[in-house]
Amino acid sequence: MDLQAVVDDIVALMSPRLGEGKVADYIPELARVEPKQFGIAITTVDGQTFTAGDATVPFSIQSISKVFMLTLALGKMGESIWKRVGREPSGSSFNSIVQLEHEHGIPRNPFINAGAIVVTDMVLAGHKPREAIGEFLRFMRYLADDDTITIDETVAKSEHLTGYRNFALANFMRGFGNLEHAVELVLGVYFHQCALAMNCLQLSHAGLYLANRGTNPLTGFSVVSPKRARRINALMLMCGHYDGSGDFAYHVGLPGKSGVGGGILAIAPGKASIAVWSPGLNKVGNSALGSEALEMLATRTGWSVFGN
């Protein structure tokens, strides 16, 4: 299969539709992003990389960071983390507070905002916020094998100034005893992890351990066990697109995690790590063109986990 021809064709098909969807204007810095952009990168487990479009333009990875923070938390605390966060699809929007009341401050999964805030609280244990942010940044540079990756401080500040819903979620969980650190400290780390800037090429490298049984084949570094990689992929498939997760599984059939910056990381287990980016979002907060591009890719490659 000529994967370069596939990604080139996808970019050509998307070009007339650039700008579709709506950028995440509730975060002022993201509202300023030029919407008419689209990039795609595929890195295969045998080390080949295929890129097209705006694949080297950095963007704010936002909630895609939750996959990597979950990996860090599992490394620090193991399976005990599931006492404080669930593993079920939420069926609600990413910043919903509704279920927390009924479920006594235990978020449904680690990929909705409430669940990710709890995971960040776990990673913060034993650290000052600055140290936890540094640990996360070093981890991302290690995964992508790229020391140029940085956190966009302007985006982090923008999120901090407008993140009222996240403050409400964190205070609510603190009230239930499911947050061990001060809300301000936890959210300081959370906003910085979401403000990490990466491009599609870097992101496809960073996710490669999930496609290759927990080991990055480009570096040979073992990141997690094969069992843990499989379980993270399962959570991405069920919960990675909020209340659009079922629809994404139906159309694309790959584990994936979206972010409101317009990026999506998708994993074809045993085959490749894929990153797409287009800033315009659909009604459930996932990249409109990115989701369609991944459906095209899954159709043409036969990579769906459910078969050709």
Burial class (CB in 10 A: 0-12, 13-18, 19+), 260: buried
Active-site residue flag, 242: yes
Nearest to 255 by CA among 282, 278, 224, 232: 232
Taking alpha carbons only, the member of 113, 77, 109, 86 closest to residue 190 is: 113
Q: Which of 204, 223, 242, 273 is catalytic?
A: 242
271 to 8, 64, 160, 202: CA distances (angstroms): 19, 20, 38, 17
Find the catalytic residue in 6, 66, 96, 287: 66
Our CA angle for 192, 214, 296, nearest 5°, is 80
The CA–CA distances, whole Å, from 122 to 134, 176, 281 equal 15, 16, 30
52 contacts 11 by C-beta, under 8 angstroms: yes
> Which has the closest alpha carbon to 254: 264, 268, 274, 244?
268
Does residue 66 have an active-site annotation?
yes
Among 6, 23, 63, 252, the active-site one is 63
Q: Pick the catalytic residue: 6, 60, 85, 190?
A: 190
Q: Which of 260, 273, 276, 291 is catalytic?
A: 260
Catalytic residues: 63, 66, 190, 242, 260
